[in-house]
Amino acid sequence: MWVAFKQHKWKILLMLGSLPLLLELSLRFFQPAALDYERNLKLLHVYHPEYLVGLEPHADYYIRHNQGLWEGHFTTNSLGYRGSREPVENVPQIGCLGDSLVMGFGVSDEDTFCNLLNGIKINGTTYQTQNLGVDAFGTRGYYYRLKEATERLPDLRIVLFFPSPNDFVIPESLRQRGILPDDEVDRNREQNPESFRQFKYSFQLTRYSVLLHSGRLAVAKLNVRRRTIWSDIWRDLYQIGLYNPENGPGLYPQIPVERRGLLPYLREAFYNPPPRPDCNAPIGSGEQSVGCPDPIPQNVTCLPNETALSDLEPLPEYTRAYYDRMIAAARSANVRLVMVMMPVQNETLYCEMNGQYSPFFDFSRRAGAYFKRQNVPVLDMRSYISEMCGEQLPDGSGGTYPSRIHDYYIPGDGHYTRAGNRWANRALRRELQKIEAGL
């Protein structure tokens, strides 16, 4: 075999060397549907030296979610702002700053709430909107995007800022899988400057090579899967009683004491019959027949009242530092920064609609309290949640039906639907009119 290899080594090496090229060409030619979503998202984005990832100027893509949850037309103007008209000289502008919710995942350009806000009148002045949102932004990205916008848009007067829970909060179950808040990721990068260069090369190579991009996605998914398996193993060991972490109940709050132990674990794992139907329940008492407000699902935990702000954890130091930079950048450019407490998780909607409170909204209250202390206006959009109950929406056949919460959020995705974006637009218009004297 060795003799044969020596005789044909150049042919063999040539074949092996050409294999990546063949795979690259094959992926480009066949365009696997499984990669279509991720690939179009990658091409929509470009590397940016300050906030790392921006949107390509003059982009034009039609993107379908890989699980069929949504699809939409994505375009950008010459500045890389999604669905925004080119800035008109001497026309006052409002910028919408945030992550994927603001950018408008889930709908086409014309249906994002930032686009729907275009032409709003405040104090008799008509404003043009510019969508500054970029998916997966953290607080560091918000600051640099805002700073850049004040330099590019001389007529920028107001910036509506929408923090995200992904900025500085992450559920423990996701942290165990290696998923960190965006601010923590950025802080770790800043502590290792070489990581910025590595990110740049990785981003550029995977943007131009389908093979490298697909390989990187595969490795990332395998890493998440590996961490998920180990997380499930430790969870089972905790339930059996063979593993007792320091913060066990906090890590696994869904496992009450009565379900812990070997026998309860075996009974649940191997003998878990479906619940018996309630024969005494009246006909038509299922959730589909229940009107507004939407009943609270079993997997949603609500509290009777809001947690006192003094009992909430302070914002991370890294987050506060970039909030301070944002406030300073806006004031130096004579731009009015307005923070918006937008409900971005369906747990908040279910709880608020039933007169209770979801701790998932604590992230927004923590951020809002900080901005208020800095004399930045804060809009709380929770008072409009009740309007998600009973609005007449078109049913596609010429009629209408009364809306429910799931009509405003994309199930399994968390972004606003077209109805959700219209709701946000209406609520924002009314809130902005309330504080128009200060704008």
Please report the sign of the dihedral spanned by the C-alpha atoms of residue 438, residue 115, residue 421, residue 343. Answer: negative
Contact predicate 39/213, CB 8 Å: yes
Report percent pLDDT > 70 for the chain: 87
* Omega cis (within 30) before 293: yes
Tokens 């990332």, located at residue: 220
If pLDDT is split at 50, 70 and 90, which confidence band does 56 have? very high
pLDDT computed for residue 323 by the predictor = 98
Q: Which amino acid would we find at residue 376?
A: V
Long-range residue pairs from 256-265, CB within 8 A, at least 24 positions apart, any chain: 264/239, 265/236, 265/239, 265/240
pLDDT at 231 over 80: no
Q: Give helix 182-191 / helix 139-152 axis angle, nearest 10°.
A: 80
pLDDT computed for residue 223 by the predictor = 79
DSSP 3-state assignment of 186?
A: helix
Q: Which residues contact 200 (CB under 8 A, 6 or more apart)?
A: 47, 49
pLDDT at 345 over 80: yes
DSSP class of residue 164 equals -
pLDDT computed for residue 193 by the predictor = 87
H/E stretch holding 371 reads: helix 362-373
The string of pLDDT tens digits covering residues 193-220 is 899 999 999 999 999 988 888 888 788 7
pLDDT computed for residue 163 by the predictor = 96
Residues 21-32 have a mean pLDDT of 76
The string of pLDDT tens digits covering residues 371-392 is 999 999 999 999 999 999 889 9
Question: Which comes out higher in pLDDT, residue 116 or 292?
Answer: 116
pLDDT at 313 over 80: yes
Residues 99-126 have a mean pLDDT of 95
pLDDT computed for residue 4 by the predictor = 58
In the chain, where are the structural domains located?
Answer: 33-179+303-438
Q: Which amino acid would we find at residue 160?
A: L
Residues 317-334 have a mean pLDDT of 97
Contact predicate 133/163, CB 8 Å: no
The tokens of 281 are what? 């329940």
Residues 252-276 have a mean pLDDT of 72
The tokens of 384 are what? 């409009």
If pLDDT is split at 50, 70 and 90, which confidence band does 12 have? low
pLDDT computed for residue 283 by the predictor = 43
The string of pLDDT tens digits covering residues 391-425 is 999 888 888 999 999 899 987 778 999 999 999 99
Residues 20-27 have a mean pLDDT of 75
pLDDT at 247 over 70: no
Tokens 């309330």, located at residue: 434
Question: Which comes out higher in pLDDT, residue 47 or 436?
Answer: 47
pLDDT at 286 over 60: no
pLDDT at 291 over 70: no
The tokens of 400 are what? 């209408």
The string of pLDDT tens digits covering residues 146-200 is 999 999 999 999 999 999 999 999 877 677 777 889 999 999 999 998 999 999 9
Q: At 71, give phi and psi (nearest 5°).
A: -155, 155
DSSP 3-state assignment of 25?
A: helix
pLDDT computed for residue 434 by the predictor = 83
pLDDT computed for residue 132 by the predictor = 98
Write the DSSP string, 61-119.
EEEE-TTSS-EEEEEB-TTS-BTPPPPPTT--EEEEE-SHHHHTTTS-GGGSHHHHTTT
Q: Give, rounded to a whole angstrom, the gap between the first and last alpha carbons of the chain.
A: 80
If pLDDT is split at 50, 70 and 90, which confidence band does 289 have? very low
pLDDT at 33 over 60: yes
Please report the sign of the dihedral spanned by the C-alpha atoms of residue 219, residue 223, residue 229, residue 233. Answer: positive
pLDDT at 330 over 90: yes
Write the DSSP string, 190-258.
HHSTHHHHHHHHHHHHHHH-HHHHHHHHHHHHHHHHHHHHHHHHHHHHHHHTS---TTHHHH-TTS-GG
Pairing of strands 93-97, 128-131: parallel
Q: Which fold has domain 33-179+303-438?
A: Rossmann fold (3.40.50)
The tokens of 150 are what? 């004040």
Report percent pLDDT > 90 for the chain: 58
pLDDT computed for residue 251 by the predictor = 67
pLDDT computed for residue 285 by the predictor = 39
The tokens of 373 are what? 């202390």
pLDDT computed for residue 140 by the predictor = 96
pLDDT computed for residue 336 by the predictor = 96
Residues 359-365 have a mean pLDDT of 95
Beta bridge partners, 80, equal: none
Write the DSSP string, 374-418.
TT--EEEGGGGGGGGSS-EEE-SSS-EEE--GGGTB-TTT--B-H
pLDDT at 246 over 90: no
d(CA 232, CA 45): 34
The tokens of 195 are what? 């990581």
Contact predicate 363/348, CB 8 Å: no
The string of pLDDT tens digits covering residues 66-75 is 888 899 999 9
Q: Which residues contact 82 (CB under 8 A, 6 or more apart)?
A: 55, 74, 75, 76, 103, 104, 109, 112, 131, 133
pLDDT at 21 over 80: no
